[in-house]
Structure 1
Amino acid sequence: MTRRIHTTPSYAATVGIIQVVNEPQTGRDKGGMPQAEKDTLTQIYYPSALRAVRTAENDLGIPTSSRIHVQYMDTLWGAGDPSSSLPSDSAILFDDHNYVGGAVTATHPNAKQADYMWYTCYIDDRLADGDVPKLVGEWSLTVNAEYSSEFDWKNSANTAFYKQWFVAQQRLYERTDGWIFWSWRTQLNDPRWDYSYLVYKGWVPTDAAGLDASAQQDVCKAYFGTQRRTKRW
């Protein structure tokens, strides 16, 4: 794949990252992930994959400035420390997937809108594992009780929450090196998953300048006022 990217002009102009494994098994999955499996993944497979990419680039004479970034799921994903056996390399990137619904309802099974906002505003930290540089490569506005009246996106009474929660998550993820919403378009026409439908609904800005401006909004203070940060959790 590395050779194909560098020797195909259309790929070389558009592909800058190869991800080694997307969402490997974790301890949260059925059957878990024994430490021995984590060690095999992070201590053997991960450095071998990086070595294969760099060897191909060396063979092609690719300068350091033009090398592909090699991406790994971050430690927060739960499949071990991806950097534990990697050599120093300026073109390594970490991928973070953060679907807040699961994290919130793990401790608050009857979570309300304010619980999601509080978690995003004051609890969540996507840089806690120290894996940098990092992209938040998947996130959404999905909640676990997505069909309840509390979270029915078709009910205009809930629109303000989704708009504010988008900005709260955007601000959180812009502390990293960038973010990608899941997804641009789906067959669901559900703005919690479908960025193009968010745009259509007018829930998010339509250009980069608007997104930059929204990231400057202290939406958490606007939502909670001056409540103590330990009050809800």
Structure 2
Amino acid sequence: MRSLAVIATLCGLSAAWMPGVDRNIYSKEGANLFKRISPITKRTLPTSGKIRGVNLGSLFVFEPWIAENTWSNMGCGNQASEFDCVMNVGQAAANTSFSNHWDSWIVEEDFINMTTYGLNTVRIPVGYWLREDIVYTDSEHFSQGGLSYLEQVCGWASDHGLYIIIDLHGAPGAQVAQNADTGQYASSPGFYVDYQFERALEFLEWMTTNIHTNNNFRNVGMLEIANEPVQDPNSVGELTSSYYPNAFTRIRAAEAALNISQGNELHIEMMNEKWGSGDPTQYLTDNWYAAYDDHRYLKWDTSVPVTPDDYLNTSCNDDRGGNWPTIVGEWSLSPPDDVQWNSDWDPSTNQAFYQKWFAAQVMTYEKQEGWVFWSWKSELGDYRWSYQDAVAAGVIPTDLDSLYNLGVC
């Protein structure tokens, strides 16, 4: 166990891999990305020092609701998840369709736009099937060949000075039931058994090694070890007692085998206690470079009255504290489905409200270590789920510091 004095440095976020710290990060041409033309000297906004980012949703873990047209054009229409699509269209056809998708959904220009918009971070959801040798090919059906595209995307993000979080979004066996964001629309969560944990640990070891040995991954500073597990600590006790401690041990062992210095180790991210899957620190004996993920969607919080004023008030006063350091890794501007097109919520006529609600959430989440919006893009025709569309609509400013001058909270 490392000394308490060393672990305590995390509270000051002196970690070398976090944005806002004096760490030299280089482009593929060898240029120091911290030494840009004045006044930008770091890859974070000068006054915030916070993570300000977007998720690359539906890139490597496809959620059909985000991009139904693309899903249909891939031959996956009426299929609930990647697993179902690959099983039904066949491996060869699926590989071609998904390759075309990876090659077009996110391109280098997206990262140029992100930096122009004042963003400094991308979170990339991935599935365990990126490591193809741990997939049970006789019973599991996933696209193949994604790793080279992940390398390309991370290379672009690194070239443009963005901090990268890689998130194990789809775990072996599915960590929740009936949700395409695990990669499979499983009838029950099958992740919480030892042999599935072991496959996830093998994935994390492999990804850790890739991150530290492949120059395209040079700006990856955080590895999230399980996205949104079941919100019932009584039924997933081994998540905190077994999987989390073993993930720390295996990731650090992989880094030790590569002689990675302590200051260059990855942050290891877990869902925070507010998520409802238990205290992630309960069984950890060493939380060096631990980080915590908080997802905050008011649209599914039934305790909040569904009015614009109540949403603003809630977001202004929302306490997301607890585990430290916490990043609000998913959130949006979407209200509940049954009111989202009503006159009070229609995005075409309520831009002023959505700008205020965006500002309220940003200011609250920056009381923690920052935020990552869901998502960068969608095909919904609805900027409430698409950062780039919200910028185009004038709802999100490109000068994010200006949000503090709106007097919202």
Instruction: Give the shorter-chain TM-score range.
Output: 0.7 to 0.9
One-letter amino acid matched to 2:407: D
Q: Helix, strand or coil for the counterpart of 1:192? A: helix
Is 1:215 paired with 2:404? yes
The match for 1:42 is: 240
The match for 2:228 is: 23
The match for 1:153 is: 347
Structure 1 segments, 4+ long, off by >2 Å, are: 87-90, 105-108, 215-218
Work out which structure has the larger RCO, using CA pairs closer than 8 Å and 6 or more positions apart in sequence.
2
Aligned partner (choices 335, 345, 349) of residue 143 of structure 1: 335
Please list the CA deviations of residues 182-217 of structure 1 after superposition, one character each: whole Å capped at 9, or x if unmatched.
1111111311110001110111111xxx21231354
* Structure 1 position 159, deviation (Å): 1.6
**Percentage identity across paired residues of the two chains:** 40
Is 1:113 paired with 2:308? yes
Aligned partner (choices 292, 300, 303) of residue 102 of structure 1: 300
Q: 1:215 to 1:87 in 2, by over 3 A?
A: farther
* Structure 1 position 34, deviation (Å): 5.5
Aligned partner (choices 361, 377, 380) of residue 185 of structure 1: 377
Please tell me whether the aligned partners of residues 170 and 215 of structure 1 are also in contact (alpha carbons under 8 angstroms): no
Q: Helix, strand or coil for the counterpart of 2:342? A: coil
Please tell me whether the aligned partners of residues 298 and 304 of structure 2 are also in contact (alpha carbons under 8 angstroms): no
Distance (Å, rounded) in 2 between the aligned partners of 1:8 and 1:70: 19
> Can you give the 5+ residue segments of structure 2 that lack an aligned partner in the other structure?
1-206
Aligned partner (choices 10, 16, 23) of residue 216 of structure 2: 10
Distance (Å, rounded) in 1 between the aligned partners of 2:264 and 2:216: 15
Is 1:60 paired with 2:258? yes
| Cα RMSD after superposing both structures | 1.4
One-letter amino acid matched to 1:185: K
* Structure 1 position 89, deviation (Å): 3.0
* Structure 1 position 85, deviation (Å): 1.0
Q: 1:214 to 1:107 in 2, by over 3 A?
A: closer
Distance (Å, rounded) in 1 between the aligned partners of 2:233 and 2:396: 42
* Structure 1 position 160, deviation (Å): 1.3
Q: Helix, strand or coil for the counterpart of 1:137? A: strand
Distance (Å, rounded) in 2 between the aligned partners of 1:87 and 1:106: 35
The match for 2:249 is: 51
One-letter amino acid matched to 2:216: S
One-letter amino acid matched to 2:266: I
Please list the CA deviations of residues 92-145 of structure 1 after superposition, one character each: whole Å capped at 9, or x if unmatched.
110111001222x3453xx211111111123x2100xx2001111111111002
Aligned partner (choices 153, 157, 166) of residue 358 of structure 2: 166
Q: Helix, strand or coil for the counterpart of 2:292? A: strand
One-letter amino acid matched to 1:10: N
Give the length in aligned residue pairs: 201
What TM-score do the two structures reach when normalised by structure 2? 0.48
Is 1:72 paired with 2:270? yes
Aligned partner (choices 243, 261, 280) of residue 82 of structure 1: 280
Q: Helix, strand or coil for the counterpart of 2:291? A: strand
Q: 1:174 to 1:77 in 2, by over 3 A?
A: same
* Structure 1 position 15, deviation (Å): 1.4
Q: 1:216 to 1:53 in 2, by over 3 A?
A: farther
One-letter amino acid matched to 1:9: N
What TM-score do the two structures reach when normalised by structure 1? 0.82
Please tell me whether the aligned partners of residues 134 and 176 of structure 1 are also in contact (alpha carbons under 8 angstroms): yes
One-letter amino acid matched to 1:152: D
Is 1:131 paired with 2:326? no
The match for 1:228 is: none
* Structure 1 position 148, deviation (Å): 1.6
Distance (Å, rounded) in 2 between the aligned partners of 1:175 and 1:34: 27
